[in-house]
Structure 1
C-alpha cells in the first residue's frame, strides 16, 4: 500500500479541521445582504455588523437547509460585532485567545446559503492591539492573506491546529480578523445590556485653528451633560485634556471608549482668551 504523500496528509488534516468547525457556522440573510456567522453560545450567533442590514427581518440558514428567524440582541459598529438570538440547539464553537504567528497558515470557514465554505491563506500581519477607524478597541491586529466574498464575512478564522482565533471580516483593502478576546468582551456586553457603553462629554465640538495648535469650540452644550455640570459653556474652546494638547476632535471622541465612563479628566479651555481648568466626569452616552 502506497504511503500518503506529505501534501495528501496536509490536505486530509485541513479537511478534518474544517469539518470540525463547520457545524457551528451559519448563513445570515438580512434585507438582500448575505453574511456568515457562528454559534457563540447556545441560542446566540455572532456575525459581522458591517454585513448586517440596518433593519428588516433576519433569517439564519443552516447546513441542512433549514431556516430560522433571528433577532438582534445588540450591535457594535466600532468593533464590527453583532449578536443575534435564535431558537435552536446548535453546539457552540470554542474560541481561543491565542494570536497566530506571522506567516502561519489560516483557514476561514464560512457559509453560503447555509452550505459550509472554506478559504486557505496565511497570517500576513500579527500585531498589537489597535483602535478601529470608528473608535473600537481591537485586542490584536491580525490580517489574513486570503480572498473573502461578502457572504463569507463573519466566518471563523482557524489556525493550523483547528483552533478558532477570531472572526474574519472585510477591512479596507485587506481581510481582518476580530480576535476572540474582542468577541468575548464585546459580545458579552451585548448579551448583558444590548449595547456598548460609550463615553459622553455632552458637548458638540467644532475644530478650530489656534496660533499654537488645534482647539475644539463648544458649539452647543447639553444642559444636563457632564460638561455643563463641570462649568463649561457654549463658546469655550477646549485646548488640552489631562495636560496634553488637543490633536483633533476625532481623536478626542475616539478616546471616549467604554473604559472612559466614570473617569474624571482635566479639561483646559480658553474663554475670552483666558485659560480655565475644569474637572469633567465622563458620562455614558445616551442611546438616542
Structure 2
C-alpha cells in the first residue's frame, strides 16, 4: 500500500496561489527614487506602471528587476487624479501583464504582488466592496470602486492584483485612511495610453475662478471671482461678478462637484451656463478648454 496521501484542499489552494505569484512576479518590479520606494509592473515593452502617490516627487527612478539587477527609468507622465504613473525604461525583458477584464465581486479572494530587492512581496485578502464607477477626490474617473481587505506593505503599493484565477485585474494603491483600493485594469489602460501619448491627462478648463455663494433659500451658486484673459469663460462672455446657478439645465450643487466634472471627456464640449448678472437671468455657451500645464 502506498503511504502517499492526496493533497488536502488547503494544500491545493496554497499551491495554486504560490504558482500564480511565480507566474506574474517576473513582470513585477521594485522601484526606488531619492525619496520613495514602491512597486510597479510591466504594462508594455519598455513601459512600467506604478502608483503616482507612491512616487510623488522624483522624475527619475531605478527599477530593481527580479534577481536584483537594476535599470534606470524616467517618469513619462503622471495622473494624480487616478493615481497612475507611467515610467519609460530600456533593458526590461519581462513580458507585460495581460489583464483579465472580468469584474470582481465582493467576497472574492485576491492577491497583491509587489516587489522588494528583486523578490516578490505578497499580500492576500478579499474584495470587501465592489461598486460602480466613481470619481476620486481629485476628480479622476475610476471605472469601478473596489476596496480590498488586506494588509499592504508600503513598498508593495503600485503592485499588481490577481483574482482567484491568478490573472491580473489592476493595481493596488492606498486610499483615504490607508484603505487598500484597486485601480481597475480599464482605468490603467485608458490613463496609461494617454500618458504614453501626451505625458499628461487632459483636464477641462473654464478659465474662471469660482466661489460658492447662496442665491436662494437652500440653493447654491458659483460666483465668478475672476476671468482669465483669452480663456474659455472670457470667450463665452462671462463677467466677473456673474453667478452660475445651473449648468446644462442642472442646478449647481457645489463648486467642487462642478470642477470635478471637468474630466478628460469634457474638453471641447459646450456647456450652457445659466447666470445671474445684476439680478437678471443671462445664458452663456462656454466651450471647455484644456487646462494649461502648471
TM > 0.5 between the two? yes
Q: Secondary structure at the match of 1:10?
A: helix
Distance 1:236 1:130, change over 3 A: same
Residue 273 of structure 2 is aligned to residue 267 of structure 1: yes
- What is the match of residue 180 of structure 2? 175
- The residue aligned with 1:153 is 157
Specify the alignment match of 1:37 in structure 2.
40
Look up the match of 2:49.
46
* CA distance 1:7–1:153, shift in 2 (3 Å): same
CA RMSD between the two structures: 1.1
Alpha-carbon separation, structure 2, partners of 1:154 and 1:57 = 16
TM-score by length of 1: 0.97
Which residue in the other structure is 1:124 paired with? 128
Report the count of equivalent residues.
288
What are the superposed Cα offsets for residues 205-264 of structure 1, whole Å, 9 maximum, x if unpaired? 111222231111111111211111111011111111011111111001001000111111
Aligned to 2:106: 102
Distance 2:131 2:257 in 1: 21
* Equivalent residue in structure 1 for 2:262, among 256, 262, 265: 256
SS at match of 2:53: helix
Q: 2:227 aligns with which of 198, 218, 221?
A: 221
Separation in structure 1 between the aligned mates of residue 56 and residue 190 of structure 2, nearest angstrom: 23
Q: Which runs of 5+ in 1 are unaligned?
A: none
* TM-score where L is the length of structure 2: 0.96
Spell out, residue by residue over 1:55-79, the C-alpha distance to the aligned partner (whole angstroms, 9 max, x if none): 3531111121111111011000000
Determine whether 1:211 maps to 2:213: no
Aligned residues of 1:102 and 1:125 also touching (Cα < 8 A): yes
CA shift for structure 1 position 159: 0.7
Runs of 4+ in structure 1 displaced over 3 angstroms? none
In the alignment, the residues of structure 2 paired with residue 150 and residue 98 of structure 1 have an alpha-carbon distance, to the nearest angstrom, of: 27
Cα offsets for 1:188-216 (capped at 9, x unmatched): 11111111111111111111222231111
Structure 1 counterpart of 2:203, from 198, 207, 211: 198
Q: 2:84 aligns with which of 81, 102, 107?
A: 81
Partner deviation per Cα, 1:31-77 (whole Å, 9 max, x = no partner):
23110000000010000000003135311111211111110110000
CA contact (8 A) 1:28 1:34 kept: yes
Residue 58 of structure 2, aligned match among 46, 55, 59: 55
Do 2:105 and 2:130's aligned partners in 1 also have CA atoms closer than 8 Å?
yes
